[in-house]
Structure 1
Amino acid sequence: MIRLTAELTPAGTSYLETGEGHPVVLIHGVGLNKEMWGGQIVGLAPQYRVIAYDMLGHGASPRPQPGTGLVGYAEQLRELLEHLQVPQATVIGFSMGGLVARAFALHHPEQLEGLVILNSVFNRSAEQRAGVIERTRQAAEHGPDANAEAALSRWFSREYQAANPAQIAAIRQTLASNDPQGYLTTYELFATQDMYRAEDLGSIRVPTLVATGELDPGSTPEMARQLAARIPGAQVAVLDEQRHMMPVESPRLVNQVLLDFLQQAMSQQNSIKGIVA
C-alpha cells in the first residue's frame, strides 16, 4: 500500500507525488480532491512519476479569488510543475479536471507532452445545460452538498453503492466539507465553460485520449466523440457499462486504458524527438 504525505507549493497548492519516470499529473473533479486517485496512483506509480493535486477551492489548496476563470486553474498547474521542476508532463483530467486540462493545453502547450480527458463535458444540449445551471443555483443556496444524493446516483452504479457504503459515505462527507465559495466558483466554471475556446482545440498537437463511460449521463459518449473530433489525432474510448466515477469504481479497467495510451504516446513522442534530432 502506498502511503503518501501531502506537500505544498510556494503558492499553497497541496499535492502528492510518487514513482519515477515520465511525469503524469492527475486533476480531480469538482467537489472532490486528490484522494480520488488512489487506484490510479497505485496502478501508474510502478512505471511513472505520478503527481496528484487539489484544485483551487478544494482539499488543502487555497480558495480561488472571486472571478477566477479557467486560466487561473491552468496557472495553478503551471506553478506546481515549476515548483517540481517538471518541464513537460502528461496531464490527465477527470470531469472538471478535464476542463482544466484543456485550458492548460491551450495556454501552456510547451509544457504538455500528452493529454487525457476522462468523463468530461463538451457541447452540452440545452436540457443538459439547464440541469447543471439548476444544480449551481442549489449549491449557491444550500451549500456544496445540496445535491449530493443525486450526484452519487449519477456517479456510481447501484451495485457499487450497495457494496461499498463506507466509501460512498466518505465521498458524501468530502462533498459536504468543501469550502462553499471555493466550490461554487469552481462549479460555476464547470457549469458554463464546456465550450471554452472550442474553436482553438485544433491547435493541440500532442497525443490525446478522450474517454468516458457508456452509462455516464453527464459526460456522454457523444460528448467524448465530439470533443475528440476537434483535437487532431485524438483517440476515443467508451468503457462498457461504466458510469461517471469509473476511475474509482473500476480502477483496474481505467488503469489499463491509461497504461496502454501512455505507452503508445511515449513511443510516439520518442519517435518524433528522434526525427527532430
Structure 2
Amino acid sequence: MPPSRHHVQHLTIHGHRRAFVKAGEGPALLLLHGLGCDHTTWSSVIDGLARRYTVIAPDLLGHGLSDKPRADYSVGGYANGVRDLLTVLGIDKVTVVGHSFGGGVAMQFAYQFPERTERMILVASGGLGPEVTPGIRAITTPGFHQVMGVLTLPGVRHVGAAGLRGLAALPTAVTRDLAEVADIYDSFKDPRARAAIRHVVRAVVDWKGQIVTMADRAYLTEAMPMCVVWGRDDHVIPVRHANRAAALAPGARIEVIPHSGHFPHKDHPERFVQIVHEFVRSTRAATYSRARWRRLLENGPADPTGDVAPVVPLTAVAGDAGA
C-alpha cells in the first residue's frame, strides 16, 4: 500500500498488533477502510477532518500494517475489534464512518454497540444489496489463493500494477478506480494478506453476490442519524444501492457525488470533508435508551420481509455544478 502521510501507532490487543492513525481533537470520528485497503485510503481527508475532530483510522486486522493472523474475520469480529481499540484509547463514543466493506463493519458496530455510536456515515457501503463487482466474487472461488500467488510474483505483479495504473489515467469513468485496485493487487503479494482477504470475502460474499444485508435491521436507524455517500460512477458497488438505503432508512441523508467512483473521499476530498462536517454539525448525536431500543426490537420493521418498494431515482445533491 502507499506509504502513510500520518504517524502510525500500534497497540497489541488480544495478542495481535493493530496499527492505527490518531489525529486532531474534538468529537471522535472512527474511519473504517474497505476490503484490501488500509488507513491510507483516508489520507486525503484526515487532515481536513482533524481540524475539528479526533480522527481514529485503524488498519483492520488482516490489512495494512496490522497483524494478519488466522482469526475471526467476520463483520461481527471486526466490530468487536474496533470496540476494543476504542476502549484502550479511552474513547467512549464515535461517529462511525465506513467505506465499502468498512461500511458493513460500521453498520455492525452501530448494531452491536448503539450506546457507543453517535452517528453513522456509510461511503459506497456493502450490505445494501447483493450486487458487487465480479472481481470481488472471484476471491471466493477455489484456487484464488494459488492463482494470485502466481500473479503477484515480482515481474508479473509490477507489470500488472503498472497496467492498471495506466488504465486509471484514461479519461473514462469505467477505469477511474483502477489505481486503487492496483494498490490492493500489490498488497496480495503477502500470502497472509491473501488468506485474510479470502476469509473476509467468504464471510460476506458468495458466487451470487453479497450475503450480509442491513435490510432486516434498517428500522433501528430510526434511533441514530445516518448519512450515505456514493460516487455516481461507482463500478464496484452500484450507486443504486444508495437508492435502496433511502428506502430502507427514510430518515437517512443521501449524498451522491458526480464525477466520482468507488472512492468518493479520494476523488473529492474537500467535498467529502464538507459533507461529514455538515452532517455532524446539523444532527444531534444519538443517545442510547435501552427502553427505546427494546421497543424498536419488539415492534420490528414495518415490512418484516425486508423488502422495499421501488423509489424514484436519486438525483445529485445541491452543489453538483461545482464538483
Normalization by structure 1: what TM-score? 0.81
How many residues are treated as equivalent by the alignment?
266
> What's 1:133 paired with?
137
Q: Does 1:259 align with 2:301?
A: no
Report the equivalent of 1:86: 91
Contact 1:29 1:94 in 2 (8 A): yes
Higher helix share: 1
Structural mapping, 1:1-277, within 5 Å: 3-11=6-14, 12-63=17-68, 65-66=70-71, 68-121=73-126, 122-125=128-131, 128=132, 132-137=136-141, 139-143=144-148, 158-159=170-171, 172-177=185-190, 179-192=193-206, 193-204=210-221, 205-231=223-249, 233-265=251-283, 268-269=284-285
Matched letter for residue 275 of structure 2: V
Q: Deviations over 1:53-83 (max 9, x none)?
A: 0112111223354564211011011101111
Distance change >3 Å, CA 41–CA 64, structure 1 → 2: same
The AA in structure 1 aligned to 2:8 is T
Give the conservation status (yes or no) of the 8 Å contact 1:2–1:42: no
Structure 1 unmatched runs, 5+: none
Report the more deviating stretch, 24-33 or 239-248: 239-248
Give the whole-Å Cα distance in 2 for the aligned partners of 1:130 and 1:2.
32
What amino acid maps onto 1:29 in structure 2? G
Gaps of 5+ in 2: 290-323
**C-alpha offsets along residues 156-204 of structure 1, whole Å, 9 cap, x if unaligned?**
67349999x9988656533544622112112223425553353112113
Give the corresponding residue for 2:311: none
For 2:73 and 2:185, locate their aligned partners in 1 and report how far apart those are by CA, in whole Å. 26
What root-mean-square deviation, in Å, do the aligned CA atoms of Structure 1 and Structure 2 show? 3.6
Distance 2:244 2:92 in 1: 30
Distance, in Å, in 2 between the alignment partners of 1:116 and 1:59 is 22
Which amino acid letter does the alignment assign opposite residue 123 of structure 1?
G
Deviations along 1:5-42, one digit per CA (max 9) or x if unpaired, are 32224332211101000000111111111111111111
| Matched letter for residue 259 of structure 1 | H
Letter in 2 for 1:203: L
For 2:202 and 2:180, the matched residues in 1 are separated by 27
Whose Rg is larger?
A: 2
CA deviation profile, 1:67-101 (whole Å, cap 9, x unmatched): 64211011011101111111110010001100100
Q: Is the 8 A contact 1:41 1:50 kept in 2?
A: yes
- Contact 1:202–1:232 at 8 Å: present in 2 too? no
Q: CA deviation at 1:234?
A: 1.0
Q: Is the 8 A contact 1:207 1:234 kept in 2?
A: yes
Question: What secondary structure sits across from 1:143 in the alignment?
Answer: helix
- Matched residues in 2 for 1:152 and 1:262: separation? 36
- Partners of 1:77 and 1:226 in 2: how far apart? 27
List per-residue Cα deviations over 1:82-139 (Å, max 9, x = no partner). Answer: 11111110010001100100111111111100101101132124xx476642343264
Letter in 2 for 1:120: S
Verify the 8 A CA contact 1:20 1:47 in the aligned structure 2. yes
> Quick one: which amino acid aligns to residue 227 of structure 2?
L
Length-normalised TM-score, structure 2: 0.71
Identity value in percent: 26
